[in-house]
Structure 1
């Protein structure tokens, strides 16, 4: 059975104030075409379908269009909720969806899989919606963290699977041990480290499809994150966009490879049965660094004029209207930061000591600049202006 694992669509999310709806539509339409071309049997969406609990109307339209497109390929579609979603809003229309599209948001249904069969028999798909520990305590007394509720949920999965038998895939949305989050991007679902979920929690299933981390990651050959299909921050720009294509054979993720030792045969087989399927990037993300004049005029930046731009200008002092000026060259400039690069004076003297040590007015002005700029003195051009002004004052006093 061929499975496509995707997650974290974040429909409705903005990028530095710009709507991403149409860009995401194009990427998800490409994903639908991949499902058709690759002969995918089941599409798994592991949470954070929407970016907020109350998405705008356009977000619902996009989701409906994509689910319809996936269903038209003949694939079964299984969607779970993430921490950004409202499980109630995501799941309210599940009973109205066409056959073959399943939106799983009810914790009471964790142990009741969606079963899809092929020539090798059934495959059981267990959807685990994002579970808030505080809301689950009336069902599972004593749970305090994501680790606790995921362990309880997987216990239900393993108990049901022990009765049913056959192959299995589980779907969840969480932080797994050993993964690297994107700083300031994924909404934190950790509390003092208690919510990191151990990989052993996911034992017992053939494949664990995870969501929440926005970059492709493999905590183990059988436990993976697909990441988001679109870049949502400049910090993600080097992370590939795509999905995992999983071929589940009659024995799960493949038989032992020739020449493999028993100790590593299972992991090698799992690696061989899963491959990365890249998605297109609608617009490249680029960070440019230099003086504002360099960014505005240097020809080497010309290839990036159509990119999303994060501009870091290094002039010693803030410049006037940098965003407006940069937009004239880079129409998709999304962020501007002033990051001055200047020689810093390693001087442990106090401001009063610098003033007393000044031998002339120019050095007195420089001492002031060192003080107010936290160790950055006058630039060459500023020295010229200071000298010119002091010279004018001297000439004026001489003729007074």
Structure 2
């Protein structure tokens, strides 16, 4: 059994006024080619399929295109809901997509409902009977209200502990149901069947990036690896940097396939080829993803930046200009800084999306966030953007942010 583990596609992301549609289309073309080249049996996307709960029409078209093309190749697709995904949006087409070899798991349901079997590839024979390849504990992003009820008078620490225990208990219940399904399959087939689990959450020791939002605000900081069930492989999403968890080969974040923020620009993005057989996990092989849109973060003063811009231009073309974040040091006090940067980049295949002043926070950038709507932001994002326009000490800014997060958490819990 060979799986392709990926996550955090964020279809429909509007990145500082820029659409990622072209990148995602190229990504799908590349993925379909890799599935054929590496004889992949099933593709697993571990959450955050879309960037918002109300994805634009072109993002839904990309989603449908991915499903149809993998179905035509005889490959099963398992789609898990993430914290960015809307349960209703994923659920609305799930019955139809199941006819196209795609299993959609939008939310945490009864444990038995979270168990599925991923079959071996049918080698293009769409209606052929597929042999079972592995059993899956298909656990998506778990919302607190899915597994627990708030109790009056609990402290933040007690709520955090209660949620962690509730998620752990849910995993164990799903694993028990999956193990029963596996034993039944093994009795039928006469040989062992591997079992894997999934998740969309932060684990202890995981390294995040600025594009990763907190998903259990005020309730759960990180889930311990020891609380996962004893699966042969655990495919995780939510953290955009590819990595092993706690140095364990069988617990992995695949990371996002494209850079979703400038601090991810230097990462080698990848997907993971996961090989399993009757004895369990055999190998995990990173599959590097090409860069379809250059993102470059530069830092310097007005004397050094021209050389940096010239270097950055070598990785771009007029048809596909590089997107830049420029942090200006020493000269960051100048009021006409954006105009000066604009003059330096004229004639080069570069687009400056954001200018930062080293001694301040992000300021008005050349293209601004003209295309971003409130639907694409959560309350924390809106508050952070508002603070960016104020001249505040870091301690004051951090204190205000911490207080605001507490208010949001209390409001969410009250609504639940």
Scaled by the length of structure 1, the TM-score of the pair is 0.73
- What residue ranges of structure 2 are gaps of 5+ in the alignment? 121-129, 184-192, 360-416
The whole-number CA distance in structure 1 between the counterparts of 2:307 and 2:232 is 55
Match of 1:284 in 2: 294
Instruction: From the superposition, tell whether residues 323 and 189 of structure 1 become closer, same or farther in structure 2 (CA, over 3 Å).
Output: same
- Mapped contact 1:295–1:301 kept (Cα < 8 A): no
What's the Cα RMSD here? Answer: 2.8
Pairwise CA distance, 1:138: 5.7
Instruction: From the superposition, tell whether residues 116 and 287 of structure 1 become closer, same or farther in structure 2 (CA, over 3 Å).
Output: closer
Pairwise CA distance, 1:178: 1.2
* 3-state SS, counterpart of residue 248 of structure 1: strand
Match of 1:390 in 2: none
The whole-number CA distance in structure 2 between the counterparts of 1:83 and 1:194 is 14
The whole-number CA distance in structure 1 between the counterparts of 2:315 and 2:330 is 21
User: Which structure 1 residue ranges, 4+ long, deviate > 6 Å from structure 2?
Assistant: none
Q: Output aligned runs, 1:110-129, within 5 Å.
A: 110-112=111-113, 113-118=115-120, 122-129=133-140
Match of 2:372 in 1: none
The whole-number CA distance in structure 1 between the counterparts of 2:221 and 2:312 is 43
Bigger-Rg structure (1/2): 1
**1:105 and 2:123 matched:** no
Q: Output aligned runs, 1:1-400, within 5 Å.
A: 1-97=1-97, 98-112=99-113, 113-118=115-120, 122-137=133-148, 144-145=159-160, 147-164=164-181, 165=183, 166-182=193-209, 184-192=210-218, 194-219=220-245, 220-254=248-282, 273-296=283-306, 300=311, 302-304=313-315, 306-316=321-331, 317-318=333-334, 320=336, 321-328=339-346, 329-339=348-358
- Mapped contact 1:124–1:167 kept (Cα < 8 A): yes
Pairwise CA distance, 1:122: 4.7
Pairwise CA distance, 1:301: 5.2
Worse overlay, 304-313 or 1-10: 304-313
Pairwise CA distance, 1:14: 2.0
- Mapped contact 2:47–2:81 kept (Cα < 8 A): yes
Match of 2:379 in 1: none
- Mapped contact 1:288–1:312 kept (Cα < 8 A): yes
Pairwise CA distance, 1:322: 3.5
Pairwise CA distance, 1:172: 1.2
Give CA-to-partner distance per residue, 1:183-213, whole Å, 9 cap, x none. Answer: x321102445734111112232111110000
The whole-number CA distance in structure 1 between the counterparts of 2:48 and 2:212 is 10
User: How many pairs align?
Assistant: 322
* 3-state SS, counterpart of residue 108 of structure 1: coil
Instruction: From the superposition, tell whether residues 277 and 297 of structure 1 become closer, same or farther in structure 2 (CA, over 3 Å).
Output: closer
- Mapped contact 1:110–1:128 kept (Cα < 8 A): no
